[in-house]
Amino acid sequence: MDSMSHAAQTKSHVVETTDRSLGQRLILDLRYFCDDGTPASACRTPVTHLPEALKRLLVDYNIGGVILFSENIVSAQQLLTLNYTMQAAMAEAHKPPLFIAVDQEGGRVARLPSHMLTPFAGNLAIGASYHEHGTAFAKNVAQGIGGVLRPLGINTNFAPSIDINSEPKNPVINVRSFGEKPERVAELGESFVAALQAEGVMSAVKHFPGHGDTHVDSHSGLPRVNHSETKAREGDLLPFQHIISSATPPAFVMSAHIQYPALDATTLPNKHGQSQIVPATLSRKILHDILRNQMGYKGLVITDALDMAGIASFFTKEDAVVRAFQAGADIALMPYTIRTPSDIQAFSDFFDKLQTQLKKGTIKRQEHLMSLQRVSNAKSSFSLRNFHEKGLSWWREEVAENPWNTKNKAVEKALADAAITLLYGAEALPLRTTTWLAMMPDTARCRAFSHSVAVLAPDISLACIPLTTKPSKQVLTRLLPHAETIIVGDISPQHAVYELAGLESPENIQNRMDEGTRHDFLIQLMQSSKQQNKQIVFVPMRMPYVANTFMPYSDIGIATFSYSVTLNQEEESPVSSAITDALVEVLLGKSQAHSYAPLSWRFNQH
């Protein structure tokens, strides 16, 4: 090597580790962008192609990655083009390739539309299948997700959640967990990680050190886990330790915005001048001492989104990132929201402040260099450069073929069948009646259930009432007298507005029944229907704990552990669901539901 080329390489290395190298440790959200003068707070123009301003942002600040949301995705070819354009911009500027990430857990957390990637039934359904199928569905679902994501240019999936389902009222984890037994969660999580990464997509296990036993959603507040250290190590930490120590450790571990005093009771001042227990995301004891040193994790530590209330309500943007890096995080996820050109200018000031903290030593340089090396190693290990090097036309052909579509639909159907669990009332199955009235949580679930009945039992006379709003007396008076069987579907905790599949009117959303009102209405209706000798089936579609309330008023209880629906673009029925298909087959006796649940649903079991 001549002296000139050696000098050039040395200069390049210096630039990469001093000038804007911090950008490699940031993953940005590019959900919306408006360059027409719209204020950032009102900007709702999805980024479905790469604007020049965002291209310059990625290149100029040497950004390490981006996270995509459903708003960024219109079609397979559009998504492929967007991702390829971003990687091409980095390659042409001689920058490292991007992490391009999504949250595609399956079940209720699925960013790709169902016509591009079946949502599957989710982790708790996989947990329900374990008794008869072991880890088969964890492997098959992860393969199906990875097989679709990778050709689209998505190289990172923030999945799976390996939190232990230990709190019945947990508002954010629940069906995202594989279940309540740490060893089983560990086994299923390991299989999921191995299969996903075998398809070339990096996995991020979450939410360390464990978000399962909380009453608060860290998107809206700061939860606290009050387990002892012994209980933490035997429970919440066990799946992480197991998967980290496996033959296929995850590329990422994602931190949780939770307080866990048994692991770190250190206090620190927040932006309001108050002293509070340090969140795990900002805890050096948790991320460095426990995760790195005690558990021996060698991969990337990434924060959960820093714009979530669990962090943003208590710390400034700069303080959150600096403290996360000091704690041992390699990557800050969504540290700064960019919606307009003026946001880019403000981001420049924010970035300069981070660089100042690095130069001052507040962010330790040696640890910074180690994080950069871990980022570089991950991008190299998973061959992120190959996506751009193969060329867009090559990927277009692979995406157009989509060999995973048929296989994934078969896996989705098989998982739905395997997840259906009989809670009580075996002696009342199969149903012998021919006139059914269904009450489903919303229009999407009503249409899916109606489609399942029409296909599987065309001789059944069915009416379905969506419970988005309270049904009128006129509707009930017209339909109830003729029904021999009433089938009540319930989603508790109540699902989010975005999960209504866009099928509700703004008026219905505004007047939506809350969970308590809906339950009071159903109990009264079920009581009066029982008095009229009608047969009643109760179907908890999310968490089965609610069956304790409704068991006295129903003859049969069947848990599905999923309420996923598919919106079909070209088929006659616009809404279908493998879960409602499986439910109808059990009701008709065409298949048998098992009686094993992945959690202790009766309150006297706790």
DSSP track, 323-387:
HHHHHT-SBEES-S---SHHHHHHHHHHHHHHHHHHHHTSS-HHHHHHHHHHHHHHHHHTTTHHH
Cα–Cα–Cα angle for 135, 140, 144, rounded to 5 degrees: 150
Question: Residue 99 pairs with which residues in a beta bridge?
Answer: 65
| Cβ atoms 257, 304 nearer than 8 A | yes
Three-state DSSP class for residue 506: helix
CB 309 within 8 A of CB 222: yes
Q: Is 304 annotated in the active site?
A: yes
Q: What does the alpha-carbon distance between residue 436 and residue 535 come to, in Å, rounded to a whole number?
A: 9
Helix (H), strand (E) at residue 446? helix 443-456
Distance CA 7, CA 52 (A): 33
Give yes or no for a contact between 327 and 286, defined as CB atoms under 8 angstroms apart.
yes
Q: Distance between CA atoms of 550 and 547, rounded to whole angstroms?
A: 5
3-state secondary structure of 597: coil
Q: Which residue matches tokens 């988005």?
A: 468
Task: Kindly give, in sequence order, each residue whose CB lies less than 8 Å from that of residue 276, ignoring residues fewer than 6 positions away.
Answer: 222, 259, 267, 268, 269, 270, 314
Q: What is the DSSP string of 185-207?
A: HHHHHHHHHHHHHHTT-EEEEEE
Residue 25 near residue 332 (C-beta atoms within 8 A): yes
Amino acid (one-letter) located at 440: M
For residue 200, the one-letter residue type is G
**Contact criterion met (CB below 8 Å) for 268 and 282:** yes
Angle at 385 between CA 380 and CA 388, to 5 degrees: 165
Q: Are 162 and 185 in contact (CB under 8 A)?
A: yes
Query: Which one is catalytic: 304, 417, 442, 490?
Result: 304
Q: Judge whether 160 and 127 are in contact, CB under 8 Å.
A: no
Q: Determine contact, residues 450/438, Cβ cutoff 8 Å.
A: yes
Structure tokens at 367: 């640890």
Largest CA distance in the chain: 94
The answer to whether 95 and 62 are in contact (CB under 8 A) is yes
The residues near 57 (Cβ < 8 Å, ≥ 6 apart) are 28, 63, 338, 344, 347
Give the span between the Cα atoms of 575 and 448, in whole angstroms: 5
- Sign of the alpha-carbon dihedral angle for 17, 20, 26, 29: negative
Catalytic site residues? Answer: 304
